[in-house]
Amino acid sequence: ERILYVDSAAAGLNNGRSWTNAYTDLQSALADTSSCVFEIWVAAGTYKPTAGADRWGSFDLKNNLKIYGGFAGTEGPEFDINLRDFQLNETILSGDIGGPDSTDNSYTIVVGINADSTSILDGFTLSNANGNDEFGFPSDPGRGGGIHLNGGNAILRNLVFDQNTALFGGGIYLLNSSPTITHCDFMENRQTWGGYGGGGIMSEGVSSPMIASCIFERNYGFFGGGIYFAGGDPQMDNCHFI
């Protein structure tokens, strides 16, 4: 399996072929993926969906692609993914693309359209999205600050959703989507006035997510601070709501 490397501090050729020559931007690695690339490894640092001010910009999930964060930036290709320390090597996908306040932050940080179980996002902190706006993603306002999934059954693991805001689902919004969400922390995410749904997660349509070993702490929503299910067949196991 071919691996592309991303490290915001890399000073080599920036072609993604090794840690020394890693891409410094995750979007560059996503644009480089093809049928022979199956994994992206991302070193500790902060990565934004756009270098400019485009609030519509997002990191897009792809089938047959595993995106892993939490690396120190020295691990070899035979490294066991389970040995990462993604708490020590915090890898942040940030929606804070504009000025010091949140009014010009990204609408949605990560988007998956029909992303199936071969699409994995693992080992990241997603923070400071602001979908609390008249024009969110996609055509409907503010659906999902951290992640927006429409269709599919992607795998989301070892993620932290921190201080994301949206009209519908501050942390995650699911529409006709049945992801597996495990070992994720939802911290201080908000669903705001004008919409409805959970501060941590909102799920609607024909969605059957599996949510296990997750923590929901200090989230806020008008119809469910932690989670709001509007239909579907969700399953939950070993989750904590604080």
Q: How far is the C-alpha of 186 from the C-alpha of 214, rounded, in Å?
A: 8
Per-residue tokens: 22: 């890693």
Splitting the chain (242 residues) into consecutive groups of 10 residues, what average pLDDT does each group show?
Answer: 92 96 97 85 97 92 97 94 95 92 89 97 97 55 88 98 94 97 97 83 95 98 92 95 96
**According to the model, what pLDDT value does residue 217 have?**
98
**According to the model, what pLDDT value does residue 100 have?**
80
Q: How far is the C-alpha of 143 from the C-alpha of 177, rounded, in Å?
A: 13
Distances (CA, A) of 25 to 47, 99, 126, 142, 146: 7, 20, 16, 25, 18
pTM of the model: 0.94
Start-to-end CA span in the chain (Å):
41
DSSP state of 61: P
